[in-house]
Amino acid sequence: MKKFPKGFLWGSATSAYQVEGGNKNSDWESWQVRAGRAVDHYNRYEEDFDIAASLNQNAHRLSIEWARIEPEKGKFNEQEIDHYRQVLQILRGRGITPLVTLHHFTNPTWVAQRGGWENVDTVGHFASYVRYLVTQLSDLCDFWVTINEPAVYLSQSYLLGQWPPQKRDPRLAFVVGRNLRRGHQVAYQIIHKIQPKAKVGFALSLSYLKTPLGGRIAPWEKIFITRAVDQDFIGVNYYRAVGWTNDLPTSDMGWAIYPSGLYEVLKELKEINLPIYITENGIADAEDDQRADFIADHLAATWRAIDDGADVLGYFHWSLLDNFEWDKGFGPRFGLAEVDYETMARHIRPSAEVYSRIAKRNTLEI
């Protein structure tokens, strides 16, 4: 029996656009692949958080939709603030610590129409949104991710052209990356001015680059990791190995499953000397025949890294619910709870019970 540190956060993750539904002011809602009603989490959040609590989760990562809070430039929607206050109160009332993401890929339509993150003015617009939001919600949350997977956003939207605004321009990708970085830095300063003791960081997609001669963290998001004062923790979103992976099993998305890669990533990050949270780790597995082992094996890798000195303080499984998976639509199934997209009924998968037992005991048998 291997025990995790006292106070370890056991949770799952969602993002607003992928689960809420009914968001008509987002740039994705004018695109050819859209979430629509998603899984109606906007109306069913109490039911969904009851599921999280029943699975012995003491933390939950969620995002807040900028397009709801500020549907028009400079006009903030108090009803939506009230909604998110209720969401956070329900979480806290169930003994679940919220980790709130401020930008998870989507932008308000008015931001997109002004050039999105290509436009340096978006940094200031984002700052205004963050200042308003954190001021309103600081009594309910002090644990923030400013921007989710910035390099994924810029590559999918500005290099591969698979997400809005569907451009393929390395120069623009560089500009977007620079502005996202600035957006994070400004948000970090704003949050700490409002909440000096807040924990603020990025969530970065860190794959393991496997080669015949060894491996390392794949380089594309590592550029956003810093030793500077604008990062209180590192959020790690780890799903797969890339590179020399022909001998590895794969998920429904075709992603190579390699738990040892998570151990190597965490071991490498240890040298930066910042706390680490695994802010996403999960598998597309509609039949639920790989997820239980996936969870146990990745948690074993996490425990090994902790035992070797990595300061890992929490684990958030992706995802609490099946959801809209961006340009892949509703095909991939990542949820601990299966969702019937016709009736919106939730059914807890057997693999979720495996994770629940680990969380309850704070221990892992390896």
Torsion angle of alpha carbons 81, 85, 91, 95, nearest 10°?
A: 150
Closest CA to 54 of 85, 13, 95, 100: 95
Closest CA to 141 of 204, 87, 193, 180: 87
- Residue that the structure tokens 């008015």 belong to: 110
Q: Which of 264, 280, 287, 325 is catalytic?
A: 280
On whether the CB atoms of residues 174 and 130 are closer than 8 A, the answer is no
Backbone angles phi, psi at 190, to 5 degrees: -65, -45
Residue 202's beta-bridge partner residues?
A: 234
What is the total residue count of the chain?
366
On whether the CB atoms of residues 146 and 188 are closer than 8 A, the answer is yes
Neighbours of 132 (CB within 10 A): 16
Look up residue 228 and give its DSSP letter: S
On whether the CB atoms of residues 259 and 210 are closer than 8 A, the answer is no
Active-site residue flag, 280: yes
CA 46/CA 60 separation, integer angstroms: 13
- Residue that the structure tokens 């997609």 belong to: 205
Closest CA to 96 of 161, 22, 46: 46
Q: How many Å is the Cα radius of gyration of the chain?
A: 19
3-class DSSP state of 362? coil
Task: Cite the active site residues.
Answer: 280
